[in-house]
Amino acid sequence: MSKPTVRYENLGLIDYKDAWDYQEKIFRSTVDRKIRIRNGEKLSPSENHIIFCEHPHVYTLGKSGDKKNLLLDEDNLKEKNVKYYEINRGGDITYHGPGQLVVYPIFDLDYFFSDIHKFLRYLEESVINTLLEYGIKSTRLDGLTGVWIDVGKTSPRKICAIGVKTSRWVTMHGIGFNINSDLSYFSNIIPCGIQDKAVTSMEKELGCKIDMGEVSNILKEKLSTQFDFSYII
C-alpha cells in the first residue's frame, strides 16, 4: 500500500465559525464520496486534508460537555469580545485564541488505520515530540486526552487539548496547542471540565515568546512522520 498523501493549508488567523464551516464542507464531501464509492460509483479516491490556523478569542463546548463549565454569561462574553459555540466534537469546553496553534486533520482513516484511539495517541505523540525540540518534557495523563507537563508531580499542567469528531472513519476538529496563548482566558471556564489542574503554554514554560511559524513547521513535520504520510501543498 502506498504512503498516504495529505493536502496542507495554513489559514492564518481566521474566525472560528468560518474555519468550522470550511472543515464541515471538506468533511461532508469526504464522507459523501466514500458512501458513493461503496455504492459502486466510479470516482477518484477522496483526499486527506490538514488545516493549520489561529482563532480570535472563542470558547467551544463539545457535545458531551456541560455548559456550567462556562463561567461567563452572554453579557460577560460580549464585554470581553469572546464568541461561544456549541459544536459537534467530543470533549467538554475549551478556549481558542491568538497565540494558540490549532490543527484540524480531516483524514480518511481507511488510508491509515481504523482505530480512533490510536489516532488520538498519534496526535498527542506528535505534540510531545514537538515539545521535545524545545527541551520541554511532556506526556499523557491516564484517562484524559491531551498533552500534559509534570504529570505525577504536585502541579500537572495541560499544554495541548485534543477533541475530534468521526463518521465512517473520517475525522475533523483536532488540536489546540498553547504556544503564546493568553492564559487568563482559561480562568473564565473549567477547561475540559477538569477543575483541579492548571493550563500552561510554551511561553509560560520557557519564559519567552515563541516563534509560532517555527513551531508550526516542526509540528507539521512530526505529524507526517508519526502518521507516515507525504504532504501535498
Give, as one character, the DSSP assignment of residue 4. Answer: P
- Report yes or no: 215 and 118 within 8 Å, Cβ to Cβ: no
Separation between Cα atoms, residue 215 and residue 224, nearest integer Å:
14
Burial group, residue 98, by CB count within 10 angstroms (0-12, 13-18, 19+): middle
* Sequence-distant (≥ 6) Cβ neighbours of residue 41 within 8 angstroms: none
Pairing mode, strands 144-149 and 83-86: unpaired
Enter the C-alpha cell of residue 178.
498553547
160 is catalytic: no
The catalytically annotated residue of 53, 160, 192, 208 is 192
For residue 128, give the nearest of 156, 143, 147 by alpha carbon: 147
For residue 9, give the nearest of 79, 113, 105 by alpha carbon: 105
Helix 116-132 to helix 212-227 angle, to the nearest 10 degrees?
140
Residues recognised as catalytic = 192
